[in-house]
A = this chain, B = another copy of it.
């Protein structure tokens, strides 16, 4: 347990370092208004904090820098979110007032706002289809061998892919089957579709055609693998602003990872709701071990739909980002629920 004074000093150091990106010395802290002790006293406390592993020293004659553990303590006990500025709220309002044609536009806009307001990189996961239910299923033949399968969810989300039609299937049969599927599957949540498919419908399908195995294959083609949510990445170039990444090689490693958007979604191991913060090496990927990732989930009716997040250096404006993510995740929820209600 830290003393009140230690907490005060740790806060001062972290705050200063977040602003300046330079090691913080005892003198500069004592000159701040909120700390009344002499540099010598502060030095003693800093030595203790270093022994506890909360601070680090780049070299003997430099000031102190928060360690990962120090940041962890800071976000767990010291940081004060402070709310979202009036200016920022206004920007968000005007940005979301724009016309949006797709579900995904909301998500994309959110991503842009996040990176603009923070000057960090924003990563936003679109709603997973599996948390919604099927509204409409359709197979549109293009020619003898292939068709476009279109799936619409109750939220207005559209998925589509080109599928191969097995030989020997009649158009009429396909039509019947699609109609049957729409009857049976309408309103069924996606995570249950497959089981319903096999338990209730597989038998009925037998009545219409004998080649039902192949039909099911087409269905699986249509539904399968649609698991990966859309990833919106904005402001990747903002990484280059940070002094810690002024070294081009470091920056490249990070940007390389960011480009593989598919892998990014793995970073977002489903948060238990609310804000989640991963500092430095707490992140699974080695390439971003000098970054912190803060995420928040947005949800409708308690059903968590997706995640918005900010990636920046460990020296990140935690308070500001937390407020913003909290605010925006709720905002998105409102927007989306209005969207399809």
Contact = CB atoms under 8 A, between A and B. Distances in A.
Contacts of A72: none
Interface stretch (A148-156, A172-180, A197-205, A306-314): A148-156
Given A148-B156, A248-B240, A162 B103 contact: yes
Say whether chain A's binding surface is mostly helix, strand, loop, or mixed: mixed
A102 interface: yes
A315 interface: no
A140 B157 CA distance: 11
B240 A259 contact: no
A225 B100 CA distance: 12
Contacts of A236: 236, 255, 259
Nearest to A158: B160
A181 to B, nearest CB: 15
A246 B249 CA distance: 9
A170 B44 CA distance: 78
Give the oligomeric copy count: 2
A234 B251 CA distance: 16
A235 interface: yes
B240 A142 contact: no
Contact of A156 (B103, B162, B340, B341): B162
A303 interface: no
A136 interface: yes
Contacts of A102: 160-162
A143 interface: yes
A241 to B, nearest CB: 7
B143 A136 contact: no
A145 to B, nearest CB: 10
A179 to B, nearest CB: 15
A195 interface: no
Interface in A203-243: 225, 234-237, 240-241
A121 B258 CA distance: 15
A101 interface: yes
A148 B158 contact: yes
Contact of A237 (B100, B142, B256, B341): B256
Interface of A: 100-103, 135-136, 138, 140, 142-143, 146, 148, 150, 152, 154, 156, 158, 160-163, 225, 234-237, 240-241, 245-246, 248, 251-252, 255-256, 258-259, 339-341
